[in-house]
Amino acid sequence: MTQSFGATSTTDQVLAGVDLTGTRILVTGVSAGLGVETARALAARGAQVTGAARDLEKARAATQGIPRLELVELDLANLASVRAAADKLVADGRPFDLVINNAGVMATPFGKTADGFETQFGTNHLGHFLLTNRIASLLKAGSRVVELSSAGHRFSDVDLEDPNFEHTDYTPFGAYGRSKTANVLFAVEFDRRHKDRGVRATAVHPGGIQTELGRHMTPELVQEMIDSINAAQQASAAAPFEWKTIPQGAATSVWAGVVADADAVGGHYCEDCHVAEVVEEAPAGDGASGRSSLIRGGIRRYAIDPEHAKALWALSEKMVGESF
């Protein structure tokens, strides 16, 4: 890494001078926000981008004008759709240099996916777990997988005994935290399993950005969260919170995917275009003070624990009914 980037770096700044001609990249969630910006920035540097989205009509409108972009239908909350998308990509046979698992949902009311999984865990983790493993044969030596996680992983560790909230009380942010912790753990174990053949995986936190991801949060809840963050920032003499722009939010994804040294980011969690430090603190919960963790930096040790990652992998295989 010859240049240092940070929280305010944009996709165009991170990718300045990078030539991606001849590369092929898969980005999920290209119907809005970070996914569209990620696809745009990569295509602008010559990459052939395959964008995946549940609503293809919306994705076509959102990505209009992006060159060399192909679209594939993918509903992460329906494993039949995930399998169909993966089968289509495998049958096509063209390899990928990078997969960015960007799509997701946040703080939803309690619900279940088409397969009966809790909505956030099923969509954010299990859908991408199945997709990535099913197309792993298309990942050639030197390729990478980038999982979009969040500082929201601080809300909760995964619950390997009760992933669907059948015996524990559901909270929107608690469930979000479980799914985002799962995203990191998946990257840790996928990296361990594939690094010997030159394929690396990492997880990233894009930062606090105003996108469709926050559709389930009321304006009052957003302001409560910002007030909580600023109170914590003031106590530590830090600057007040500022939203990232979408190009700033997508910067860490492309940095980890094509700019950073693979050995530096492989098996790790990144934020603000650097590898995050481990933070040692109690779970935040999902109250007003806990929601400030959605923005604050660092990675909880449980989210990068290799044995924990192996256990989640085994549970995930059982849940989707396939072994990899």
**What's the pTM value of the predicted model, to 2 decimals?**
0.91
Identified catalytic residue from 9, 31, 179, 180 = 180
pLDDT at 208: 86
Domains of the chain: 11-319 (3.40.50.720)
Is residue 150 among the annotated active site residues?
no
Identified catalytic residue from 9, 156, 176, 316 = 176
pLDDT one digit per residue (tens) for the chain, 324 residues: 457 899 999 999 999 999 999 999 999 999 999 999 999 999 999 999 999 999 999 999 999 999 999 999 999 999 999 999 999 999 999 999 999 999 999 999 999 999 999 999 999 999 999 999 999 999 999 999 999 999 999 999 999 999 999 999 999 999 999 999 999 999 999 999 999 999 999 999 999 887 666 565 666 666 666 666 656 656 666 667 678 999 999 999 999 999 999 999 999 999 999 999 999 865 555 443 444 445 568 999 999 999 999 999 999 999 999 999
Is residue 180 among the annotated active site residues?
yes
Identified catalytic residue from 143, 149, 292, 293 = 149
Is residue 149 among the annotated active site residues?
yes
Kindly report the backbone phi and psi dihedral angles of residue 220, in degrees, each rounded to the nearest multiple of 5, phi listed first.
Answer: -65, -40
